[in-house]
């Protein structure tokens, strides 16, 4: 017999090997930690039986109340619903859900859902972040299990099938086959719009191009324009034409018509060979080059700079960098504007469930293989933040009701996703989200300069959105704490969300409203909100007035292109068309 001495020191029963296998399996089957977070919460409740019994007793109370409600309904006695859907929950809006038998199913589901969610938010022995993580994944599971998502539990779908003599079922199967081929639950027909023909149609010229971006200068529509040009740094998570939808929704057209010379970035959709592109490169070859190029184009010393979402985070970083890099007299930015932008990432909202050491590590491993993060993967994560409206709504309407996809321009833009370079995105996730280093003085060194937001003294106009689930407005507000006390600041809170709070054109009658006030250095958001003025309509008009005061005199309109910066292509350019 072979001696034990000849056996390898580690074998398959070695605990360390078992742990390694367990970690590998977990990464493969649960890369975002969904199952692990739910299991952790369940174990926490098991260790606190008294709290668990109190929580269960709440559900028992709801069930008893529902029994009384059911008894009264069965006897024909009027009875108010015990559990009402939230105002923004449209799943049960059809009148059939108020009929006795379906009302019972609806209220049982809602009662269980609310108590279950409350339990996860109140899980004893866990940190607030772990509670929110468990509640997020449980909410997504509960949304998936809603009776509206199953044909035989959805009276609207069954009635539609009867009314159409089964046609809705066949159309639903056809829609399912379409989405199966697309490997996605589509929200809009991929051929519903053509960029450059239906969307992104404001006339202009591409006047600059490098490996990262194209710069589009829009043709003037007025004889005179403001002397100081407006430079908009769009997010590279999606494509720029969200600001140039159909003409009546186009912020770019609106600004041009108001007498501004508007330059906009259109970012290249990264390919595998761009895996090593860094955040530093987006600052120097991106916003830095654009600012330089526009000052040369218009022969002016300064621009007014705008940043949207991650483009705003880059603009905030650039502003801190530029205030260190340039002498005060040579600073090339006169004022800056942020749209729904995080600089403090301590509480980034529901998206935090996708940003911890485990999930970032899983994303990095995925990006290392491809050289980028695929846009569809990122889009899927964002859709999970609002799964009822962005996933299951389309499941029901496409598959169970057999309806055609609506030709909605914002949804088309949302599905027109882009990729993120490996090095840049890894840095962004780790330094901003995980370590929250942007708000820490001199913690980051980017393009040779230490980053300190307190160096920024230029006037700031910050716009946020009330229902923003990507950049929560209360976190966006915190930039007032970190920029220099001498920097004048105006803060705006618009109704609606991350996109429609910004793409918010003037309408008659007004569709939306906004709160506006200039916050003090250490003023809490609650105090700001109490004294802020609520106005009906869009904040665009106020922003244009604010910009006008900081844009110099009226001068002859700059041509769309000139001899030094000739037209390379017509707007919307070539990078925006890359898939």
Which residues are marked as active site? Answer: 309
- Count of other CB atoms within 10 angstroms of residue 541: 13
* Cβ 319 vs Cβ 305: under 8 Å: yes
The DSSP line for 181-197 is: HHTS--SS-TTS--BTT
- In 3D space, the residue among 335, 260, 337 whose CA is nearest the CA of residue 303 turns out to be 335
Gap between the Cα atoms of 170 and 172, Å rounded: 5
Token pair for 23:
């970690």
What residues contact 132, with CB distance under 8 A and at least 6 apart? 121, 350, 352, 353
Kind and range of the H or E run holding 556 = strand 554-556
* Distance (Å) of CA 290 to CA 84, 94, 260, 485: 52, 51, 17, 28
Gap between the Cα atoms of 238 and 572, Å rounded: 14
* Cβ 225 vs Cβ 276: under 8 Å: no
Gap between the Cα atoms of 380 and 354, Å rounded: 11
Beta bridge partners of 187: none
Gap between the Cα atoms of 553 and 567, Å rounded: 26
Gap between the Cα atoms of 442 and 445, Å rounded: 7
Beta bridge partners of 152: none
Kind and range of the H or E run holding 257 = helix 251-257
Cis link prior to 270 (omega < 30° from 0)? no
State the Cα angle at 147 between 66 and 86, rounded to 5°.
65
At 232, give phi and psi (nearest 5°): -110, 120
**Cα-Cα-Cα-Cα dihedral sign, residues 420, 421, 425, 426:** positive
Token pair for 459:
């006037």
Kind and range of the H or E run holding 461 = strand 460-465
Gap between the Cα atoms of 142 and 150, Å rounded: 13
Helix (H, G, I), strand (E, B) or coil at 279: helix
């Amino acid at each position: 017999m072979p001696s034990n001495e000849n056996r390898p020191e580690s074998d398959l029963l070695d605990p360390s090997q078992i742990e390694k296998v367990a970690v590998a399996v977990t990464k493969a089957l649960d890369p975002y930690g969904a199952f692990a977070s739910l299991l952790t919460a369940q174990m926490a409740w098991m260790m606190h039986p008294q709290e668990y019994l109190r929580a269960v007793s709440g559900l028992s109370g709801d069930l008893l109340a529902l029994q009384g409600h059911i008894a009264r309904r069965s006897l024909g006695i009027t009875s108010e619903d015990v559990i009402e859907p939230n105002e923004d929950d449209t799943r049960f809006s059809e009148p059939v859900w108020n009929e006795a038998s379906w009302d019972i199913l609806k209220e049982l589901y809602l009662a269980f859902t609310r108590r279950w969610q409350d339990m996860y938010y109140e899980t004893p022995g866990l940190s607030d972040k772990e509670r929110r993580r468990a509640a997020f994944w449980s909410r997504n599971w509960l949304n998936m299990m809603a009776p509206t998502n199953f044909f035989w539990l959805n009276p609207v779908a069954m009635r539609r099938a009867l009314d159409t003599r089964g046609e809705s079922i066949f159309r639903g199967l056809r829609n399912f086959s379409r989405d199966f081929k697309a490997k996605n639950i589509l929200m809009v027909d991929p051929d519903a719009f053509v960029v450059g023909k239906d969307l992104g149609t404001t006339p202009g010229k591409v006047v600059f191009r490098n490996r990262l971006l194209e710069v589009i200068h829009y043709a003037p529509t007025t004889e005179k324009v403001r002397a100081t040009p407006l430079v908009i740094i769009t997010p590279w998570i999606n494509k720029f034409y969200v600001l140039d939808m159909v003409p009546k929704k186009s912020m770019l057209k609106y600004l041009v018509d108001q007498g501004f010379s508007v330059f906009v970035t259109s970012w290249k959709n990264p390919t595998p060979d761009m895996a090593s592109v860094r955040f530093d490169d987006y600052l120097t070859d991106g916003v830095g080059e654009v600012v330089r190029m526009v000052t040369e184009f218009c022969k002016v010393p300064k621009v007014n700079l705008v940043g949207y979402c991650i483009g705003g985070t880059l603009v905030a970083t650039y502003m801190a960098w530029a205030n260190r890099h340039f002498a005060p007299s040579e600073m090339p930015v006169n004022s800056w504007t942020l749209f729904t932008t995080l600089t403090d990432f301590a509480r980034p909202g529901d998206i935090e469930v996708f940003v911890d050491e485990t999930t970032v590590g899983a994303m990095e491993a995925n990006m290392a293989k491809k050289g980028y993060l695929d846009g569809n993967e990122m889009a899927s994560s964002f859709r999970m933040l609002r799964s009822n409206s962005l996933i299951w709504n389309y499941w029901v309407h496409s598959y169970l009701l057999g309806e055609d996809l609506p030709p909605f321009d914002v949804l088309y833009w949302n599905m027109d996703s882009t990729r993120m370079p490996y090095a840049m995105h890894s840095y962004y996730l780790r330094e901003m989200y995980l370590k929250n280093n942007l708000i820490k003085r001199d913690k980051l060194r980017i393009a040779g300069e230490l980053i300190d937001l307190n160096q920024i003294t230029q006037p700031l106009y910050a716009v946020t959105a009330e229902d923003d689930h990507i950049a929560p407005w209360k976190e966006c507000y915190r930039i007032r704490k970190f920029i220099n006390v001498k920097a004048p600041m105006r803060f705006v809170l618009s109704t609606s969300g991350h996109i429609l709070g910004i793409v918010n054109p003037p309408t008659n009658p007004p569709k939306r409203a906004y709160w506006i006030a200039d916050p003090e250095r250490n003023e809490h958001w609650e105090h700001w909100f109490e004294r802020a003025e609520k106005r009906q309509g869009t904040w665009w008009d106020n922003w244009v007035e604010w910009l006008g005061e900081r844009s110099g005199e009226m001068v002859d309109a700059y041509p769309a292109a000139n001899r030094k910066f000739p037209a390379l292509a017509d707007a919307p350019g070539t990078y925006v068309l890359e898939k």
